[in-house]
Structure 1
Amino acid sequence: MNDYAVLWDWLSFGVRWLHVVTGIAWIGSSFYFIALDLGLRQRPGMPAGAYGEEWQVHGGGFYHVQKYLVAPAEMPDHLTWFKWEAYSTWLSGFALLCIVYYAGADLFLIDRNVLDVSAPVAIGISLASIALGWLLYDLLCKSPLGQNDTILMLVLYAIVVFMAWGYTQLFTGRAAFLHLGAFTATIMSANVFMVIIPNQKIVVADLIAGRKPDPKYGRIAKTRSLHNNYLTLPVLFLMLSNHYPLAFGTQFNWVIASLVFIIGVLIRHYFNTVHKRAGNPHWTWLVAAILFVVIMWLSTVPKILTGEPKVAEANQVFIASSHFPAVRDTVLGRCSMCHSPEPFYDGVTHAPKGVVLDTDSSIADHAREIYLQAGRSHAMPPGNVTAITPEERALLVAWFEQAR
């Protein structure tokens, strides 16, 4: 059993690394081409059909790039397609979803206090919601609403907010954030697979056949690509959010996720405006910073965390607290099955992140983490598998705040 668990952990490691590598490749090319497109300039004497050009310098050389809004008059001898980055990112991400959240559904996906369902039911809800996201988005883009970018984006944002709330009513906080990211990332990948690349193939086929391509295919592909551009930063945050329990494990986690989308859009708006040479909207950073402070406040309502005493002094204060005996019993009863030198929880071969909570001093050493992960937020235990009670969480909060 232990050998199987170790191999599974290495599989998770390998797929996670693959997901990071392919994600970087996709995001890098996406950001580059959006910046290139926004920076194009027109000049007299350009080739027939050319929409704009850009001169760039990088790596000691100069690059002269020209864009054809529809297509050049003849098919080029060599054509590079940018598609496998998107496909590989989604496939590796879905594989990771299966390895971590589906195979470990009882630990990472299901929270019995939120929705008491079996693992197959939870996995079915997950798959259905991700597929529904693309279908709904695509229908909206093809509907009359798709003719008005502002209204379309407002409607799509309302759907995102609803899904952020909905996922917190179905899964653990950690899984809710991950699924909101997967929901959005699937829309982005499907844009490439179902719209952008097929449209480009239609244009190529017309060129090969000697027909004049219809410009609508290019316009549609560009719109979907721009949507992807604005969704990228929120998806990045959501995919990394499992490291931040104060974001996903708190009462207003769905509001936090919704605000993260606005912050991501603001930041992309800044860079897109600068690349377009249409100004320097510094106000976007101010608004983003204000929203981030709001997120901090929401994560710790009604008290924002401040500093803490030095570790050596804090240890004695935490151990001397009148709450400590009850806290120790809670930690040993609810946490030590994983956080011990030899974990005995099924599938856990070593203490997560090397955190061992089996002595008074080790509990005091990790007082802040216990407070954040199991007191202020519900990040631990994952899915509340050890059934820690609200009273015990309140005890952990009272212990830490009294000692500080």
Structure 2
Amino acid sequence: MLDFAIFWDWLAFAVRWLHVITAIAWIGSSFYFVALDLGLRQRPGLPAGAYGEEWQVHGGGFYHIQKYLVAPAEMPEHLTWFKWESYMTWASGFTLLVIVYYAGADLFLIDPNVLDVSVPVGILISLACLAGGWLVYDILCRFLIGRADTGLMILLYVILVFMAWGLTHLFTGRAAFLHLGAITATIMSANVFMVIIPNQKIVVADLIAGRKPDPKYGRIAKQRSLHNNYLTLPVLFLMLSNHYPLAFGTQFNWIIASLVFMMGVLIRHYFNTHHARKGNPTWTWLVTAILFVIVIWLSTVPKVLTGEVKTSSAENIYVASAHFPAVRDTVMGRCAMCHAAEPSYEGVYHAPKGVILDNDAGIAAHAREIYLQAGRSHAMPPANVTQISDKERELLVAWFEEAGK
């Protein structure tokens, strides 16, 4: 059993590594082509059908790039397709979802205090969310294509806010953020697989057959590609959020997720405007900073976090606190079955992240982590498997803040 646990942990690491590598490749090519598209310039004398061109310098050489808005007059001999980065990012991400959240559903996916369902039902809900998110998005895009891009984006954002709220009523906070990112990533990858690449194949088939391609296919593909561009930064935040309980494990986590999407859109708007040589909207950074401050405030309502205490003498203060005996009982009863030199919780063979909380010194040394993960947020215990109460969480907060003074 121990050997299997080690294998499973390394499998999760390998798939996560693959996911990061393929995501970097996909995001890199996506950002590059959007910037290239926005930077194209028109000039007299371009080849027939060419929309614009751009000169670039990199790696000791110069590149002369021309774009055909619909297609060139003839099929080029060599044509490079950009699709496998997207497909592998989604496939590796879904595999990681299965390994971590489906196989560990009782810890990471399902919180009985949020929605008390069995593991199979929880997994089915997860799959339905992934598929449903894409279907709703695709239907709206097909209905509003070329008619009201701004209205479409506003409507999609309203739906996204509703999804953020709804997911926090289905899963643990960690899983809700992960699923919001996974739904968005599914939309992005499905855009490539279901719309962008098929449309490009139609254009290629027309060229080979000697027909003039319909420009609508390029217009539709460009819209979906632009959506992907604006969705990338929020997805990155959501995928990394499981390391930050103050984002996913607090009362207003769904509002935080909604504001993160707005921040990502603002940042991409700055770069897209700059690449298109249409100005330098630095105001977007100010608004983003303000939104980030609001996020910080929402994660710590009603009080602001105190600073980290690092000295051993300060650790003695936590032990000397009048609250410490009750805190020790709480930690030993709710946390130490996993965070111990020899964990007693089934399936846990080593203390997560090496955090040992089965003695006074360990509890004092990790006072800040206890405060953040189990006091200020509900990140720990995962899915509240040990049923820590609100009063116990309040005790942890009072202990840390009073001792910190």
Q: Give the 3-state SS of the residue equivalent to 2:214 in structure 1.
A: coil
Change (3 A) 1:156 1:339: same
**CA positional deviation for 1:146:** 5.7
User: Contact 1:146–1:152 (CA<8 Å) still a contact in 2?
Assistant: no
Residue 12 of structure 1 is matched in structure 2 by 12
Distance 2:309 2:330 in 1: 23
Distance 1:313 1:41 in 2: 64
Q: Which amino acid aligns with 1:70?
A: V
Residue 158 of structure 2 is matched in structure 1 by 158
**CA positional deviation for 1:303:** 1.1
Q: Give the 3-state SS of the residue equivalent to 1:54 in structure 2.
A: strand
Alignment of 1:376-391 (within 5 A): 376-391=376-391
Alignment of 1:20-99 (within 5 A): 20-99=20-99
Change (3 A) 1:320 1:280: same
Q: Which amino acid aligns with 1:303?
A: K
With 354-363 and 18-27 compared, the bigger mean Cα shift is at: 354-363
User: Contact 1:270–1:281 (CA<8 Å) still a contact in 2?
Assistant: yes
User: Contact 1:6–1:349 (CA<8 Å) still a contact in 2?
Assistant: no
Q: Which amino acid aligns with 2:285?
A: W
Distance 2:310 2:211 in 1: 74
CA-based RMSD:
0.9
Distance 1:153 1:387 in 2: 41
Q: Give the 3-state SS of the residue equivalent to 2:70 in structure 1.
A: coil
**CA positional deviation for 1:142:** 0.9
* Corresponding residue pairs, total: 404
**CA positional deviation for 1:141:** 0.5
User: Contact 2:145–2:220 (CA<8 Å) still a contact in 1?
Assistant: no
**Unaligned ranges ≥5, structure 2:** none
2:206 maps to 1:206: yes
Q: Give the 3-state SS of the residue equivalent to 1:265 in structure 2.
A: helix
2:317 maps to 1:317: yes
Post-superposition CA distance 1:34-84 (Å, at most 9, x none) = 000000001111100000000000111100000000001111111000000
Identity between Structure 1 and Structure 2 (%): 79
Residue 191 of structure 2 is matched in structure 1 by 191
Distance 2:89 2:204 in 1: 25
**CA positional deviation for 1:313:** 2.4
Distance 1:333 1:4 in 2: 28
**CA positional deviation for 1:337:** 1.2
Alignment of 1:220-235 (within 5 A): 220-235=220-235
**CA positional deviation for 1:311:** 2.3
Alignment of 1:3-402 (within 5 A): 3-144=3-144, 147-402=147-402
Distance 1:317 1:146 in 2: 64
Distance 2:394 2:116 in 1: 23
Distance 2:389 2:145 in 1: 47
**CA positional deviation for 1:358:** 1.3
Q: Which amino acid aligns with 2:103?
A: A
Post-superposition CA distance 1:77-132 (Å, at most 9, x none) = 11000000000000000000000000000010011111111000110000001100
Change (3 A) 1:164 1:221: same
- For normalisation by structure 2, the TM-score amounts to 0.99
User: Contact 2:144–2:152 (CA<8 Å) still a contact in 1?
Assistant: no
**Unaligned ranges ≥5, structure 1:** none
Q: Which amino acid aligns with 1:229?
A: N
Post-superposition CA distance 1:221-270 (Å, at most 9, x none) = 00000000000000000000001100000000000000000000000000
